[in-house]
Structure 1
Amino acid sequence: MPAAERLAFLRRLASLGRRFRPLTTDDPHEHTGGADGVRRPLLGYVVHGAGGLHAPSAHVRVVQRVELLAAAGRVDVAQVDAGAWARGTGTVDPDVLLVQRDAVPEADLDAFLARIRATGTRLVAEVDDDFFTDAARERLGRAEYDPGRLRSVTEVVRAAAVTIVSTAALAEAVRGVGGRPVVVGNQVDPRLWTGPVDAGDAREAAVGDVGDTRTVHRVLYAGSRTHSADLALLRPVFDGLVAADGLPVRLEVVGVSDEPADWYDDLPVPDAAGHYPAFVRWLRAHATRWDAAVAPLVDEPFNRSKSDLKFVEYTLLGLPVVLSDVGPYREHAARAVVVPNRTGAWRSAVADAVALGGPTPAADEHVRTQRLIGSDVAWERALGL
């Protein structure tokens, strides 16, 4: 993420840290076995953040999977401080050490990899974006991504027994720098995304939406602030757009832009929902305010390695989805509306989508049977457990 956004994220972690109990700690008793006395494999994981507070990518790709794997009793887990472990001062001796992205600081990188070699610990890398191709590195450089962080993610990938990625395109990028990729599609936490909406969240959403009537069709676009170019694709799409029932169709953006514009509406995320699990609860509580959702992607090499996570999350919100005919979304042509990045095609698709009332049965079936954590054991196999 850009330097300014990363600093804001870290400040939020510091301010909220006391409010959340850590998932796991670097504790020598984490892997002594359960009540049955059986020693289970110890999975150590290295991610940004601590105390259960992490960036959304860490939650989705690592932390929630680790939580559910431990809850099932198949492994013991501990978050590992990469620097302490590299110096030999950590208190755990993991059987498998999973590193997400650039979570090993460059200052500790050489010592960390030396200890991996000395101990024979199985190292598994996890990446969810292209950090490797020339085009991607140029883009990341423009976003003020530190070259030291790029070195960290690249060297960890080269040293890892396998690198878990979410798409075939990203697997090719990993191979290009000497990595050994395994494709495991993104899955989301059923504890967050299924079941009843929290009653308190629902009451707060209802208060916030007082007076809401269907005098307009709202269309959701949620994402990080790295998607400003994708957002720009939608400006002519929503210019004067009217649905078949005569109601105007208005884009509502959550989190994509620092500088809201008058051609769309911005729904602010409250501070209390800044932490990813709380954000999901907040988003689900507001789902009835939207009639459809969109996931635009500019057709460029970096985006072709992106995952289809928005399709999964929008579907679980109960919304019909319109997707760009780019990279990760092309495989969903039979489940959602997939359109080329042409204004006319998008306008027609969005106007139709707001009348659908929900995702297609094919989308709902696919997501609920294949895209919830626990649907398969591919991730565990990639770890070598």
Structure 2
Amino acid sequence: MWLRWMFRFADGVVVSTKNIAERLKLLNKNIEVVPNALDERLFEQSRNIHKLNNNNHLVFGYMGTLTHIEDLISIVGPLRRVLAQYKKFITFEIVGIGDNNIIENAFHGLPIRIKQVPPQMVLYDKFTNWMQQNIHWDFGIAPLIDSEFTRSKSDIKFLDYAVQGIPGIFSAVPAYNDTIKHMENGLLAATSVEWEYCLRLFVTDRDLRLRLGQRAHTEVWQHRMLANSVQNWIIALRSIYDKTTESHGDL
């Protein structure tokens, strides 16, 4: 209730996605959208892409909290089929929700590896360091069930992966549709068939992985870090100020 009160009586509101802005417009007409950006000071280790391993063993992965278990389970069929076919030379790493029995049962007998984040590393500034030291994937995945709630989510998984030069496969949902250009800076999958196709494509096409990872990395470092997106905040705040003074007179 207090959040609704704050939105209603604020001079302006800044949000991270168009869908959030749309949902809040009944509470406040003066809304600006500024996409999420990463603090480059936390990712200096990833300013240059680390060379991928040259052996024949491929590692891909997923990061997510327990609240995202249904998202991962939604593509368990394609994942199981691909893992079973290529089990001799691929490993699927799961970070964050791997201690759940549902996950362990879903991938029983398949080449998965569960990575636990140490308790002392869960705060964001610590986690980013742990992530850069421990996540060295050939590609990452970001399944997301389409729902009224998830339509307001941002493209944060793209940022998490791309900042390290990790190419990704993303659900074709509002959170990613505007950011991901299919076959340019990532892959989009809308159905189980498309997920299986994209998984196989990344497993078998190293050049594609490298190309998309490089493009995604360049995009994030050039446009989605705080240092180069601060202008977006200046524009948004000036817009809020201008609209406020127009409606209420000079402050």
TM-score of Structure 1 vs Structure 2, range by shorter chain: 0.7 to 0.9
Q: Which residue in the other structure is 2:232 paired with?
A: 378
Equivalent residues of 1:182, 1:382 under 8 A apart = yes
Identity of aligned residues (%): 26
Higher RCO structure, 1 or 2 (CA under 8 Å, sep 6+): 2
The code of the aligned residue for 1:255 comes to: G
- Pair 1:343 & 2:192 matched: yes
- Count of residue correspondences: 219
2:14 pairs with 1:161: no
Change (3 A) 1:267 1:274: same
Alignment partner for residue 281 of structure 1, among 119, 129, 137?
Answer: 129
Give SS of 2:94's match.
strand
Q: Flag the structure with larger Rg.
A: 1
Q: Is the CA contact (8 Å cut-off) linking 1:314 and 1:321 kept in structure 2?
A: yes
Cα 1:244–1:238, aligned 2, differ >3 Å: closer, same or farther? closer
Letter in 1 for 2:19: A
Q: Is the 8 A contact 2:153 2:175 kept in 1?
A: yes
TM-score where L is the length of structure 1: 0.52
Provide structure 2 residue ranges, at least 5 long, that are not aligned to the other structure.
48-52, 242-251
Structure number with the higher helix fraction is 2
C-alpha distance 371-253 of structure 1, shift in aligned 2 (>3 A): same
Code of the residue aligned with 2:2 in structure 1: it is: S
CA shift, 1:278, in A, is 0.9
Offset at residue 154 of structure 1 (A) = 1.3
Q: What does residue 238 of structure 1 align with?
A: 79
Distance 2:26 2:113 in 1: 41
Q: 2:141 pairs with 280, 294, 302, which one?
A: 294
TM-score by length of 2: 0.77
Cα shift readout 1:280-303 (whole Å, capped 9, x = no counterpart): 111111232x21101111011111
Mapping for residues 242-253 of structure 1, pairs under 5 Å: 242=83, 247-253=88-94
Q: Residue type matched to 1:225 in 2? A: L
Q: Tell me what 1:353 maps to.
A: 202
RMSD: 2.7
Contact 1:319 1:359 in 2 (8 A): no
Distance 1:272 1:314, change over 3 A: same
In structure 1, how many angstroms separate the alpha carbons of the residues matched to 2:211 and 2:140?
A: 10
C-alpha separation between the residues in 2 aligned to 1:166 and 1:359?
Answer: 28
Query: How is 1:48-59 mapped onto 2 (pairs within 5 angstroms)?
Result: none
The unaligned stretches of length 5 or more in structure 1 are: 1-150, 198-211
